[in-house]
Amino acid sequence: MITSQHMDNMMSNRIIEDQNTQQQLERLAAQRYIYSQSKKLLALQMLLTIAIPITLTISATIVQNLKVWAAFYGIVISFMDVAVIEQYQKSLKACAAKIQELFDCDVLQMKWNELKIGNRPDIETVSEAAENVKKKQSEYEKLKNWYPAAIAPLPLYLARLVCQRTNCWWNIKLRRRYRIVLIAGVLLIALVFVAISIHQNMTMINFILGILAPFSPTMLWALREYYKQGESADALDKLKVQIEGIWGKAMSNELSEEAIEGISRDIQNEIFDRRRIDPVIFDRVYWLLRDKQEAQMNKGAEELVKEALNSFDNIVAEKNHDQ
């Protein structure tokens, strides 16, 4: 049994219904498309700053006249990467994060923090980006049930906490798994190159000039990406721990509903920042891990809901005993 106040709050918990309305699905589609554009820029960066320089470096050892052009290309691309590509990528991530925030604010019933986030995204921007995903019906359908259905029995202020914890957990797991795939892939390529050098009886000088030097940009990129993803996962892990601390206090009645709602807005500010600045992950990796993670996410949400409902029952039982 749940108190009348909690019953009123549960009636206001429309997260499951609201997240699947056409307006909210279009917002999810829009942020998915814009994030995908940012990921395509990452692929372009890898092509321009890793693949082509390696090719030019190897070619320059054969064709001497290419050395000057290889050096010129390296200088031009370095400036272009920092001044143009990286800046555009940041603007795309910021736009996608705002659209995702718009979804969360409406579905989780939170106020838009204009001081922190700025103006709301234009309706036209959302609509135009969403259309690119709506054309792919199967991909569009997968946007439904963004948050786990298990939260339906909870009052809004607790359901919101579960959703925020889910946001953190999902990204932590995805980024840490991605790190493993990334470093394993680079190590595999490195071992192949070492095997080739051994098979060809390369001297140390030939190995350094012919394999290590051309491959070093790839290794450096992979290491930077590995550490960036790790830092992002660690920051989200700290936020998840904070949410779990708030959850524990909520279960023991140490915080009022109003206090938890205020804290949730602060948590959402941090989630927005992570979405805006964190490095992206390629869509192929996301879809590869999605189904397994979704099952684990739903299981975690179900356990929290059980804990909350048991807590409500204990509170009511204590009140009845006192009477």
Tens digit of each residue's pLDDT (9 = 90 or more) over 52-109: 877 776 676 577 677 677 677 777 877 888 788 889 999 999 999 999 999 999 999 9
Residue partners of 282: CB distance under 8 A and separation at least 6:
39, 42, 43
Predicted model pTM: 0.85
Predicted local confidence at residue 60, as pLDDT: 62
What is the Cα–Cα distance from 290 to 177, expressed in whole angstroms? 11
**What is residue 14's predicted lDDT score, i.e. its pLDDT?**
95
Q: What pLDDT does 40 receive?
A: 92
So what's the pLDDT on residue 58?
Answer: 66
Structure confidence at residue 205 (pLDDT): 78
Q: Give the model's pLDDT for residue 57.
A: 66
Low-confidence ranges of the chain (pLDDT < 50): 1-4, 6-11, 315-323
Q: What is the 3-state secondary structure (H, E, C) of the chain?
A: CCCHHHHHHHHCCCHHHHCCCHHHHHHHHHHHHHHHHHHHHHHHHHHHHHHHHHHHHHHHCCCCCHHHHHHHHHHHHHHHHHHHHHHHHHHHHHHHHHHHHHHHHHHCCCCCCHHHHCCCCCHHHHHHHHHHHHCCHHHHHCCCCCCCHHHCCCCHHHHHHHHHHHHHHHHHHHHHHHHHHHHHHHHHHHHHHHHHHHHCCCCHHHHHHHHHHHHHHHHHHHHHHHHHHHHHHHHHHHHHHHHHHHHHHHHCCCCCHHHHHHHHHHHHHHHHHHHHHCCCCCHHHHHHHHHHHHHHHHHHHHHHHHHHHHHHHHHHHHHHHHC
Number of folded domains that form the chain: 1
**Residue-level pLDDT at 251:** 92
* Residue 209, pLDDT score: 66
Range of the domain at 198: 4-322
Distance between CA atoms of 299 and 310, rounded to whole angstroms?
17
Segment 227-260, tens digit of pLDDT: 999 999 999 999 999 999 999 999 998 999 999 9
